[in-house]
Structure 1
Amino acid sequence: MKLYYYPGACSLSPHIVAREAGVTLELEKVDIKTKRTESGADFLQINPKGSVPALQLDNGELLTEGPAIVQYLADLNPESGLAPANGTLARYRLQELLGFINSELHKGYSPLFNPATPEAVRAERKEALHKHYSLLEQRLAEQPWLLGDEFSAADAYLFTVTNWAGHVGLDLSRFSAIAAFQQRVVTRAPVQAAMKAEGLIA
């Protein structure tokens, strides 16, 4: 399998999940601006959506959208505990969290990366993100991981998007449980390996 990624983008989440699950992936970096892959291919011919992550399966099919990809990878190794069993309430809780991170956090950051976004919109987005982080702060003040005592695919996704805060001037200093969570995640060996492979840390 091949993961098309951009360093530090939302594609870091499935990269982390794969390493946590012990799933070997081939990596190919994508230039988000030119839509060319590291090998020179036209990424739009591979994924017409033009966005990462995209996972090329061994049978040639392409799977897109981070929440779908992380569940697929987690299910390749159920013993990893990264995703509860299909059909259980716990699995729906995972999907609930992935949906929340995807729609409220991930997309909330998007306008902040655009230099053309008006300051009023930036302020509104930051206020909304603070409200969403307040909910997660409460949860993580009571338990180490989003689903409880076990690291899951949702934790990889939250860690990835929260890493963007410093790049867009979002002050999260009031959220001590979020800060402790980020530190717990970054010290995990598979997370370190993924970040090193993407050139994010030495």
Structure 2
Amino acid sequence: MSLYVKKFSAWTDAENPPKIAFVPMLFRRRLSAATKMVVYTVHEVSEGLPPVHITFASEFGEIQRQYKISEGILATGEVSPAQFSLSVFNAPVSAASITEKNMVGYSAVFAGKKSFENGLKEAAAPLLSGREKERIFVFADERLPETYASISNYPNAVCAIALRLSTDAQDAICELDLSPLPEGNSAADQALTFLKTRLPQ
């Protein structure tokens, strides 16, 4: 069975997260760069269409917020419940679901450097099996804290990509290519390769 990309959205500006003016200010101001990118790209592939299950994948998740929490623990021995709730791995896709009023559900995939590739496969599986007709796949990673430069490939690639996948070829922009992607230094490298080589430019 062939799968198709009905819509896609990407954000690759590492220094300037999207403005997401469609999100209420009190909610928007609490969101990290990673979450803003996920909210923006998911909105772009959801607007005006029925809600569907979302698969979210990331290599680092809310790494900036997690780092700040670690700093706080070292300094005071305490953790802010509000900060902790926004630092969990599924926080970006949860925020996107809230923004889109999508109650269908979501999955979160962490597979290290292959998070993009394996997340895309997880999103495609229920379509290939016939259990679902459409699903959204979204991947995002933000900049690692500079403190991690000695133990990581810093500065790492930063991006968010959302795909609306379907079993229906009508109005599709391209067929989904699920062949293996070349390995890079990070999952975001794979995501950018996919964006440049497997989607219309």
Q: TM-score with structure 1 length normalisation?
A: 0.31
- Specify which structure has the higher proportion of strand: 2
- Specify which structure has the higher proportion of helix: 1
